[in-house]
Amino acid sequence: MSFEALNLNELLVRALSAAGYTEPTSVQAEAIPPALAGRDLMVSSRTGSGKTASFMLPALMRVLAAREQAAAERKAAGVEAAPAPRPERGTERFGDRPSRGAPQQAKGPRVLVLAPTRELALQVAKAASDYGRFVPGLRVATVVGGVPYGAQLAALRGPLDILIATPGRLIDHLGSGKCRLDQIEMLVLDEADRMLDMGFIDDIRLIVDATPAKRQTVMYSATFSGNVGRLATDLLREPQRIEATSQTESHSDIEQRLHWADDFEHKNALLDHILTERDLDQAVVFTSTQRDADWLADRLHEMGHSVASLHGGMPQGRRNRVLQGLRSKHLRVLVATDVAARGIDVPTISHVINYGLPMKEEDYVHRIGRTGRAGRSGLAVTLAERRDSGMIHRIQRYTTQRMPVATIAGLEPKRAEPPKPFDRPVRPGGKSFGPRPAGKPFKPAGKTFSKAGPRPAR
């Protein structure tokens, strides 16, 4: 199937072609037609499957339809198209500037995308810019925490097509009366399960109450059980359910390995060896806490690695510089918490290393999904101690796959492998029994940037 067969506007097809996309992915082929028809959707899709385009392309089609309707109304009224107002200095997003003849829009966005983290919101905004590069006068704004209010307020005051936001900061702007959502035609909840895990359920309901009742609503979530399912029942009208993949299928391009470590020192030795392998292009090393991420990045920096840490406790400007350093390959190693597991799309990440295990089984899927992207193969390595065996078992039950146990010559574990409850037949589903025990405390954080990488502003 081609994108033309999905009845997308020629401007969007041209942008997709310029970005190197020729055929829709499974989730795009399944979700775009009903989204274009105005249906509410409940979509489950694996990470790296192209889900952002599956809602952004229909969103841009709404913007183009509004452009065409406004032009037809002007023509019928015999009114000559007026040039769009120039944006205030500093409010442009991604270089998009209204072209002459673009219609002036009502204040307030037509499309609202809610995302759980700043990184994911910025990734969605970049996708909107890429896919809408030929849309005349497209206006995209991001409203996220950790950045100054000034530029966001300026963007919200002007004409706006698409708003991508995290719930907390958007609630701030709604409360101050600086943001209006009465023009919303399409609402997207991206990674709804993650937003509920982060405690945004009340914020989401407040935001939804500020939008028109007749809007189109699209929800993306790894699961629609529990609170997420109840929220979908409350917000969606006769939704179409789309399940583009299962957890098992999500690992087809990713080789998984499990290394058992005797203790803390042995785990560090295993990590050091893996990071020196010749086939490692770029790696993301996941830790369980922010403190662990800073400590480990400092340790790897002292060993000579080009490395930085990334976690939710860092200012947004510094996080942006770290991500830019990763994309530009100034950084070879990123040490991150689960806040980075969703929203990082860097095809050259060849390795994901679980130095600290995730708190939830589904976070493992999102972690390893940072590699094996854009048709490439990837390697996901988990370093586990005996106390981690329970979580290893739960992950394998959740993914319905085993992690093959591997060893490194000269670094074989001296202790016997822990008891193997996961040697029983692996069944789909499984129930999480909570977080694993806390890991060994680390030293206080130090500097996290190598000389070759980006540095925080003074």
Q: Is the pLDDT of residue 456 over 70?
A: no
- Does position 457 have pLDDT exceeding 70, yes or no? no
Question: Which tens digit of pLDDT belongs to each residue from 298-346?
Answer: 999 999 999 999 988 888 788 889 988 998 999 999 999 987 666 677 8
pLDDT band at 458 (very low <50, low <70, confident <90, very high): very low
Cα(15)–Cα(64) distance, rounded to whole angstroms?
Answer: 14
Average the pLDDT over 109-136 and give the result.
92
Q: CA-based diameter of the chain, in Å?
A: 84
Please report the pLDDT score of residue 359 as a whole number: 86
If pLDDT is split at 50, 70 and 90, which confidence band does 47 have?
low
pLDDT for 205 equals 94
* Boundaries of every domain in the chain: 4-243, 251-423
Q: Which amino acid does the sequence have at 32?
A: I
What was the pLDDT predicted at 186? 97
| Those residues with Cβ within 8 angstroms of residue 122's Cβ, 6 or more apart along the chain or in another chain | 142, 144, 164, 320, 343
Task: Give the residue, 92 or 127, on which the prediction is more confident.
Answer: 127
Residue 454 is predicted with a pLDDT of 44
Separation between Cα atoms, residue 298 and residue 303, nearest integer Å: 9
- At 138 the pLDDT is 93
Q: Predicted confidence band at 100 (pLDDT cuts at 50, 70, 90)? A: very low
More confident residue, 74 or 445: 74
CB of 384 closer than 8 Å to CB of 258: yes
Inform me whether the pLDDT recorded for 433 exceeds 60.
no
Topology at the third CATH level for domain 4-243: Rossmann fold (3.40.50)
Beta bridge partners of 112: 163, 187
Tokens of 370: 């940072």
As a whole number of angstroms, the distance between CA 350 and CA 373 comes to 9
Give 40 or 312, the one with higher predicted confidence: 40
Q: What is the pLDDT of residue 187?
A: 97
Q: Mean pLDDT in the chain?
A: 82
Rounded alpha-carbon distances, angstroms, from residue 370 to 14, 249, 285, 332: 28, 15, 11, 14
Q: Is the pLDDT of residue 116 over 60?
A: yes
What number is the average pLDDT over the span 235-256? 77
Percent of the chain exceeding pLDDT 70 equals: 81
What pLDDT score was predicted for residue 287?
95
Q: What local confidence, expressed as pLDDT, does residue 217 receive? A: 97
Distance of CA 145 to the CA centre of its chain: 16
What contacts 438, CB < 8 A, 6 or more positions away?
none
CATH topology agreement for domains 4-243 and 251-423: yes
375-384 pLDDT, tens digit per residue, is: 688 999 999 9
Whole-angstrom distance, CA of residue 382 vs CA of residue 424: 20
Average pLDDT over residues 116-122: 88
* pLDDT exceeds 80 at position 429: no
Share of the chain above pLDDT 90, in %: 50
Q: Is the pLDDT of residue 438 over 60?
A: no
The pLDDT of residue 434 is above 80: no
Q: How far apart are the first and last CA of the chain?
A: 51
Between strands 41-44 and 216-220, the pairing is parallel
Band (pLDDT 50/70/90 cuts) for residue 455 is very low
Mean pLDDT across 337-362: 84
Weakest-pLDDT range from 116-120, 142-146, 440-444: 440-444
> Which CATH fold would you assign to the domain 251-423?
Rossmann fold (3.40.50)
Is the pLDDT confidence value at 409 over 80?
yes
| pLDDT level of residue 46 (50, 70, 90 thresholds) | low
More confident residue, 41 or 49: 41
Q: Is the pLDDT of residue 444 over 50?
A: no
